[in-house]
Amino acid sequence: MKLDMEQVVALLKGDTQSAKVVPPSGYTATLTLFTSGAMAFLVVFALALSLATGRLADRWSSELARSSTVRISAPAGQMDAQTRAAAEVLRTTPGVAQARVLSHDEQKALLAPWFGPDLPIDSLPIPQLIEVIEDGDGYDVEGLRLRLSAEAPGAVLDDHTRWRKPLVKAADRLRSLGLFSILLITLATGAMITLAANAALAANKQVIRVLRLVGAQDTYIAQAFVRRFTLRALTGAIAGSVLGMIAMLLLPSASTAGGFLTGLGFQGWHWLWPFIIPPFAAGVAFWATRAAALRSLREQT
């Protein structure tokens, strides 16, 4: 096993001498190329899914965790008084960095996606919202609730955990599923390469026998097959990853409205991730073929 690195190097340098001893394999080579390409294509999407849901979970758990909302529903006459009272309570609460009463236009903009721009909001009894931003330590939620109910009975504190937690959980689950898919695709690629390598080894039984008879060591014979399948997997995976990345580029970018959900593609340096796929696929092919070849050599001769 300690020779493996040397073998990898020899493989990359290309010892065509050993590659020649096994006869060319025809159309089955195309199948390996195709499968490896298809798998790489799928991995690009699984990666994008994992990274995007990862971003989403981070965002929901960090950014939104730092903000909460106070909603004031009161009869029209008391609205202003209660709003002032609530704002005063918030201002004097330790742990609250900022409390901002949303303006009429801001509230209208928030509702516009749901009711359309033409709705006469003014005629509706809309509760007043106050956006609360925590400082690093946060505030005592129960204490604030009690104070608010005393000073402004119509105020309800919503710290978002109620709906945030299941969403973060779902995003985390989705990320795990994405990573699990990558694992499955990797294993399936390994299995496919093993099957293809076994077929090639069986088809070349006589060649292997002759090579053993003239003094070839197992690693030498294995290398001829390993080289072939590693290069095929590499080529296929390059094509698949490139196509996958093009497909990601062509995804419509998330609009501001959808920005809440984060774009589904790669962002920033995450674009480097797909470049790992081809060498990774080649590595899987290397190990799968090597294991298959050495096992089959021990069985055959």
Partner 1 sequence: MIELQNVAYSYGGGELLSDISLKLAPGSFHFLTGPSGAGKTTFLKLCYMELMASSGLVQAFGRDTRAMDRSEIARNRQRIGVVHQDCQFLDHLSISANVALPLMVAGRDVSHEAENLNDLLSWVGLTHRADALPDELSGGERQRAALARAVIMSPDVVLADEPTGNVDWEMSKRLLTLLVELNKMGKTIMIATHDLNLIRAAKSQVNARVLRISNQRLQLAGSDL
Contacts to partner 1 by CB under 8 A: 17-18, 20-21, 23-24, 207, 209-220, 297-298, 301
Q: How far is the CB of 16 from partner 1 (least distance, A)?
A: 11
CB of 301 to partner 1, least distance (A): 8
Closest to partner 1 by CB, 62 or 301: 301
Q: What's the number of CA atoms in the CB half-sphere (13 Å) around residue 250?
A: 6
Return the number of the residue (215 or 268) whose C-beta is nearest partner 1. 215
- Provide the minimum distance between the beta carbon of 185 and partner 1 in the complex, in angstroms, as a whole number: 34
Contact predicate 34/236, CB 8 Å: yes
User: Cβ 21 to partner 1, closest distance in Å?
Assistant: 7
Phi-psi region of 268 (alpha: psi -120 to 50; beta: other; left: phi over 0): left
Q: Which is nearer to partner 1, 45 or 220 (CB)?
A: 220
Nearer to partner 1, 89 or 221 (CB): 221
Q: Between 17 and 255, whose beta carbon lies closer to partner 1?
A: 17
- Tell the smallest beta-carbon distance from residue 40 to partner 1 (Å): 31
